[in-house]
C-alpha cells in the first residue's frame, strides 16, 4: 500500500545524509536521473537510490508515495528542463517548433528516464506549465478551441512518442544500436531488385537516413497542418 506523503515543511531532513547533503525532492530526483543513467530503468530501486543518497531507503517515502510517484517526478523534471531552455520568439510556428525540439532534446539527454516516463502523465507543476504553454500558443493563433485541442493532442503525443522511440534506441548498448543501424547496409542494401525493387532502388538513401530521427520532419508536417487550418479559418497566411 502506498504510504502517505508528508508535507514538505514537515518532512525535510534536518541532519545531512552520509553524503553530507540535506534531502529534498530536487536532490532525490537528480540522484534518480543519475541512477537511471548508470543502471537503466531496472536499476532504479529504493535500495540503490538510498545508497546513492547515503540515506535509508525508507526515507524516500517521506517525499514520494512510492517509486511510481518518483517516476512521475522524474518526468516532470525533464519537462521543466525543456521549458527552462526554451526562449519564445512571438511567432506561433517558431515557438511550437522550438518547444517541441526542446522537450525532445530534454528527454534524449536522459534516455533511460525517457523510456520510463514518456508515456506517463505526471500532473505536476512543470508538466502542466508546458501543456498550458502549448495550448496558449495554439489558442493565440485564433484557432477554435476544438481545433486547438486537437492539434495540442497531436503535438504532445508526437513529441513524447518520438522521445520514447529515439530514447529507446539510445538506451540500447552501443553494440546493439550499431547492429541495428548496420542492418540497412548489411541486409536491406543486399535485397535483390527482382524481389524487392523499391527497397533496392532506394537502398543508399535508406542507409543514409534511417539511423537518424524522423522527428524534425514529422514535426514540420504537423505544423504545416496547423498553418493549413489557420488559412482555412481566415486567420493565417494565405487566407
pLDDT tens figures, 64-106: 999 999 999 999 999 999 999 999 999 999 999 999 999 999 9
Residue 10 has pLDDT above 80, yes or no: no
Which segment of 14-18, 24-28, 161-165, 194-198 scores lowest on mean pLDDT?
Answer: 14-18
**Quick one: pLDDT at residue 7?**
57
Please give the Cα distance from 98 to 187 (Å, whole number). 36
Please give the average per-residue pLDDT across 120-145, as a whole number: 97
The CATH number of 91-233 is 1.10.357.10
**CB under 8 Å to 14, separation ≥6 — which residues?**
22
Whole-structure pTM value: 0.86
Please give the Cα distance from 117 to 143 (Å, whole number). 30
pLDDT > 90: percent of the chain: 87
With cell 517558431, the residue in question is 94
Locate the domains of the chain by residue range: 1-65, 91-233
CATH T-level fold of 1-65: Arc Repressor Mutant, subunit A (1.10.10)
Amino acid at each position: 500500500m502506498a504510504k502517505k506523503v508528508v508535507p514538505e515543511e514537515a518532512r525535510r531532513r534536518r541532519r545531512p545524509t552520509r553524503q553530507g547533503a540535506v534531502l529534498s525532492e530536487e536532490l532525490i530526483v537528480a540522484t534518480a536521473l543519475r541512477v537511471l543513467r548508470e543502471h537503466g530503468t531496472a536499476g532504479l530501486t529504493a535500495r540503490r537510490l538510498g545508497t546513492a543518497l547515503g540515506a535509508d531507503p525508507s526515507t524516500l517515502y517521506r517525499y514520494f508515495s512510492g517509486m511510481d510517484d518518483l517516476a512521475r517526478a522524474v518526468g516532470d523534471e525533464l519537462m521543466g528542463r525543456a521549458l527552462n531552455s526554451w526562449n519564445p520568439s512571438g511567432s506561433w510556428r517558431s515557438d511550437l517548433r522550438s518547444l517541441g525540439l526542446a522537450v525532445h532534446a530534454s528527454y534524449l539527454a536522459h534516455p533511460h528516464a525517457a523510456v520510463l516516463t514518456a508515456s506517463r502523465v505526471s500532473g505536476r507543476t512543470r508538466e502542466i506549465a508546458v501543456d498550458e504553454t502549448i495550448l496558449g500558443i495554439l489558442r493565440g493563433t485564433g484557432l477554435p478551441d476544438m481545433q486547438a485541442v486537437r492539434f495540442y493532442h497531436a503535438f504532445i503525443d508526437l513529441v513524447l512518442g518520438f522521445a520514447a522511440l529515439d530514447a529507446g534506441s539510445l538506451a540500447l548498448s552501443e553494440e546493439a544500436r550499431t547492429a541495428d543501424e548496420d542492418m540497412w547496409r548489411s541486409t536491406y542494401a543486399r535485397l535483390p531488385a527482382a524481389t524487392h525493387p523499391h527497397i533496392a532502388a532506394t537502398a543508399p538513401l535508406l542507409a543514409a537516413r534511417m539511423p537518424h530521427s524522423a522527428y524534425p520532419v514529422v514535426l514540420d508536417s504537423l505544423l504545416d497542418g496547423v498553418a493549413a487550418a489557420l488559412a482555412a479559418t481566415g486567420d493565417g497566411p494565405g487566407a
